[in-house]
Amino acid sequence: MIMDKEKILSILSQVRDPQSGRDLVSAGMVEKLEIAGDNVNFQLVIPNLQMPGKAELNFACIGAINDVFPKAQVNVHFMARSAESSHTPNPISNIKHIIAVASGKGGVGKSTVAVNLALGLQKSGAKVGILDADIYGPSIPTMFGLQGSRPKVRDVNGMTKIIPLESYEVPTISIGYIIEPEQAVVLRGPRLAAIIKQFVSDVLWPELDFLIVDLPPGTGDVQLTLVQTVPLTGVVMVTTPQDVALADALKAINMFKMEAINIPILGVVENMAWFTPAELPENKYYIFGEGGGKRFAHENGSVLLGQIPIVQSIREGGDSGKPAVTQDNVPQVAEAFMEVARNTLKQVEALKV
């Protein structure tokens, strides 16, 4: 028997809410059901996290699924539906989806993926913007060819709003537009939080289907501020294949899975998956190991959104403000990022089920 969403929902419809007596599915308690290999992840909405019988309900869900699918690895994430714990109100309601691009470690190509994901989504027909939340190391101005540009401001209903700068018809905001290129950013947590909130609320964002947020690496103040400020649709995790990168990626994923944060992981992008020389485009050299990102995604109940090779044109495009997705001379590289964009769209659509 194939394990799919329909069968899992059918199984969970046999489990009763101990408080209302209704089955979990008809009561609307099952949300964000994801299946990846043998891993089953879903969110169970309850009145409060101290609800009596929560542990028993958890065991009942796992037991019911394992009775039919003994090999299934079931993860139940509880979320309280209350005034304090409900979805974060959206201060930018003209944006449909906000996706964070994250990494556990710096230097894995997170910003490169964020930029090309945004442009890939745009090529797929979506209206997309980018918020550069990597305050200490902003890369968006360089990657979009906007170094030295300064955003203008406009008075809107008595409030001063920042006009985002556009490149490739993508509106962007970054602290890199405000400081000098060689200026070090030395800020404590509260000031970092204030800047992130300003980039969300004080920027005149147009109507967007997606706002891509390029997070700093790791698990810190910016990540916490973002999840408390806007309702994130989900997170795209970027890693390279080697174990030292995967270890930190796991910590980052676990942060977003914490009960108090509980943001869906849309999937994993394995960057620098292999090296392909320009003169031998069919050859693959697995410099950092083979398939680490794919295994990592499977082991953590997520999906692999795509694998990006090490290709000189990706680096050149990032440095020159001509991202890989916009380059027609290296179609296989552009297609790798387009696959990431298409798979991200699929995961966002799956969250609505």
Domains of the chain, residue spans:
5-80, 95-351
Same fold, 5-80 and 95-351: no
The answer to whether the CB of 130 falls within 8 A of the CB of 114 is: yes
pLDDT mean across residues, the chain: 90
Query: Per residue in 80-115, pLDDT tens?
Result: 764 344 445 566 789 999 999 999 999 999 999 999
**DSSP structural state of residue 203:** B
Entry pTM: 0.75
Query: Per residue in 31-74, pLDDT tens?
Result: 889 998 899 999 998 877 777 778 889 889 999 999 999 999 99
Query: Per residue in 212-254, pLDDT tens?
Result: 999 999 988 899 889 888 899 999 999 999 999 999 999 999 9
User: Residue 133's closest CA among 48, 212, 25, 208?
Assistant: 212
Q: What is the dihedral of CA 50, 53, 57, 60, to 10 degrees?
A: 150
- CA–CA distances in Å: residue 210 to residues 122, 170, 289, 325: 9, 11, 33, 17
Please state, in angstroms and rounded to a whole number, the distance separating the CA atoms of residues 151 and 219. 29
- Which H helix or E strand runs over 1? none
Which CATH topology does 95-351 take? Rossmann fold (3.40.50)
Query: Per residue in 122-174, pLDDT tens?
Result: 999 999 999 999 999 999 999 999 999 999 999 988 888 999 999 999 999 99
Average pLDDT over residues 306-316: 94
The answer to whether the CB of 75 falls within 8 A of the CB of 39 is: yes
Q: Which residues of 263-287 are buried (b: 16+ CB within 10 A; e: fewer)?
A: bbbbbbbbbbbbebeeeeeeeeeee
Please state, in angstroms and rounded to a whole number, the distance separating the CA atoms of residues 129 and 171. 5
Both tokens of 208, joined, read 């967007």
Residue type present at position 209? D
Which CATH topology does 5-80 take? GMP Synthetase; Chain A, domain 3 (3.30.300)
